[in-house]
């Protein structure tokens, strides 16, 4: 039986996931179901199931959203043709792309416009990689970090830029960065890597956990890229590391000889799942927080949703002659609502 759980801080929801979950919660509260969401809003089975119960239909082809329906696009970022098709057919279209993914989309377009060949380091078939490369498919080539640069061929004489999926493992990024810098001495890459703050912080926390844990449990779903990266970081740090969706996924054999269990969660995993994992482990000496940094990033709701809600609020207040100048509305109060609160409304 485990004596202690070392709990990583930060873990779980990042600012992009917070924003996307709250935005979709607003959508299901404001519109009659179904609300259509292009791709899973975030890659987490519990979150997706909660929204399905609340009336969201997840689609992988934007044409599956009936004309005139409310449509949301996921946090991972969508191809430009998907964004315009959604805007054309939806009554209200809200793009919940994370601003840090949007930054990479801008970089892809900018470097392609300047004539660069682009190495985009990411995972084949992941929604974020697919959406980013679609910004300039003629210029950007996907390079899997596990394969490295073997598959990349630059046009003779072309300048080369190196960009990345935001959720890569740090060591995966550094591996490709090292070989690309060696191969292309004039390589362009963003001054601060495309790996987002949440990815980096959660991976640094694992390195700290690994110093004192016998085994590591990472809460998150199979198709969550940053969750999988956390498992690989744990294994690279030399401790047995396992991904689980929740307590039901724990194999008792993993904990057989484990005195101290490290616990963390991917950026799309609800903290309720983490708490039930700790309850299932039931450490005799309790839980100790291992904090590497304090996160206070906040991303406001998507502009289309803010505008829609402000218009709605003005209509209601105007209609009932109850406008109170200076009074805050739901958009202004959003910063004080967490995605965990939003999921509680949905019954997670």
Task: Tell me the catalytic residues.
Answer: 128
CB-nearer residue toward ligand SF4: 101 or 274 = 101
Alpha-helical regions (H) of 246-286 = 252-255, 271-281
**75 or 277: whose CB is closer to ligand SF4?**
75
Q: How far is the CB of 14 from ligand SF4 (least distance, A)?
A: 3
Residue 165 binds ligand SF4, judged by CB under 6 A: no
Q: Does 167 bind ligand SF4 (CB under 6 A)?
A: yes
**Distance between CA 261 and CA 27 in Å, rounded?**
39
Stretch that binds ligand SF4, among 112-120, 195-203, 247-255, 270-278 (CB under 6 A): 195-203
Judged by DSSP in three states, 269 sits in coil
**Using CB atoms, what's the residue nearest to ligand SF4?**
16
Among 83, 100, 163, 269, the residue binding ligand SF4 under the rule CB under 6 A is: 100
- The reply on whether position 98 binds ligand SF4 by CB under 6 A is yes
Shortest distance, position 309 Cβ to ligand SF4, whole Å = 21
Among the candidate windows 44-52, 98-106, 241-249, 326-334, which touches ligand SF4 by CB under 6 A? 98-106
Interacting residue with ligand SF4 among 189, 193, 221, 226 (CB under 6 A): 226
| CB closer to ligand SF4, 66 vs 303 | 303
Whole-number Å distance between alpha carbons of 38 and 176: 31
Identify whether the C-beta of residue 304 lies closer than 8 Å to the C-beta of residue 95.
Answer: yes
Is 218 a binding residue for ligand SF4 by CB under 6 A? The answer is: no
The one among 267, 281, 301, 342 contacting ligand SF4 by CB under 6 A: 267
When the beta carbons of 4 and 126 are compared against ligand SF4, the nearer one is 126
Contact criterion met (CB below 8 Å) for 193 and 170: no
Taking CB under 6 A as the binding criterion, the range among 94-102, 115-123, 288-296, 304-312 that sits at the site for ligand SF4 is 94-102
**Among the listed residues 44, 74, 78, 166, the single contact to ligand SF4 using CB under 6 A:** 166
What are the phi and psi torsion angles at 73 (to 5°)? -105, 145
Can you tell me the distance from the alpha carbon of 71 to that of 27, in angstroms, rounded to the nearest whole number? 9
Closer by beta carbon to ligand SF4, 220 or else 283: 220
Beta-sheet strand order (sheet of 188-189): 140-143, 117-121, 160-164, 188-189
Tell me the CA distances in angstroms from 298 to 184, 219, 281, 295, 308, one per residue in order. 37, 23, 32, 9, 20
C-alpha pair distances (Å), 121 with each of 172, 185, 248:
9, 18, 34
Helix (H/G/I), strand (E/B), else coil: 59 = strand
Residue 199 binds to ligand SF4 (criterion: CB under 6 A): yes
In this structure, how many other beta carbons lie within 10 angstroms of the beta carbon of residue 153?
9
Burial of 169 (0-12, 13-18, 19+ CB in 10 A): buried
Within 36-65, the residues that bind ligand SF4 by CB under 6 A are none
**325 burial via Cβ count (<10 Å: 0-12, 13-18, 19+):** exposed
Comparison of 143 and 164: residue with beta carbon closer to ligand SF4: 164
Q: Does 227 bind ligand SF4 (CB under 6 A)?
A: no
Q: State which of residues 41, 90, 118, 198 lies at the interface with ligand SF4 (CB under 6 A).
A: 198
Q: Which chain residues interact with ligand SF4 by CB under 6 A? A: 14-17, 75, 98, 100-101, 166-167, 196, 198-199, 226, 267
């Amino acid at each position: 039986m485990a004596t202690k759980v070392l709990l990583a801080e930060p873990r779980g929801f990042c600012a992009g996931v917070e924003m996307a979950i709250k935005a979709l919660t607003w959508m299901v509260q404001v519109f009659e179901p179904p609300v259509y969401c292009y791709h899973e809003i975030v890659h987490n089975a519990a979150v997706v199931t909660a929204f399905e119960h609340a009336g969201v239909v997840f689609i992988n082809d934007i044409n599956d959203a009936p004309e005139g329906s409310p449509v949301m696009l996921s946090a991972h970022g969508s191809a430009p043709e998907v964004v315009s098709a959604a805007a054309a057919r939806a009554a209200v279209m809200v793009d919940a792309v994370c601003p840090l993914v949007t930054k990479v989309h801008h970089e892809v377009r900018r470097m392609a416009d300047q004539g660069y060949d682009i190495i985009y380091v990411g995972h084949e078939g992941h929604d974020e990689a697919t959406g980013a490369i679609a910004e300039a498919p003629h210029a950007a080539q996907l390079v899997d970090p596990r394969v490295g640069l073997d598959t990349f061929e630059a046009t003779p004489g072309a300048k080369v830029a190196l960009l990345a999926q935001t959720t890569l493992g740090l060591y995966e990024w550094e591996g490709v960065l090292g070989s690309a810098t060696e191969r292309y001495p004039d390589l362009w890459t963003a001054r601060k890597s495309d790996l987002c703050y949440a990815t980096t912080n959660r991976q640094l926390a694992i390195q700290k956990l690994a110093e004192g844990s016998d085994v590591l449990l990472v809460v998150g779903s199979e198709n969550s890229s940053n969750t999988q990266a956390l498992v690989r970081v744990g294994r690279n740090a030399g401790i047995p590391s396992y991904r689980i969706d929740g307590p039901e996924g724990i194999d008792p054999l993993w904990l057989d000889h484990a005195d101290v269990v490290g616990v963390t969660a991917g950026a799309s995993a609800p903290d309720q799942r983490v708490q039930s994992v700790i309850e299932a482990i039931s450490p005799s000496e309790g839980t100790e927080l291992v904090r590497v940094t304090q996160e206070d990033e906040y991303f406001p709701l998507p502009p289309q949703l803010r505008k829609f809600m402000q218009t709605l609020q003005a209509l209601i207040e105007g209609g009932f002659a109850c406008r109170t100048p200076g009074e805050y509305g739901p958009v202004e109060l959003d910063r004080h609502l967490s995605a965990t609160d939003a999921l509680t409304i949905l019954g997670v």
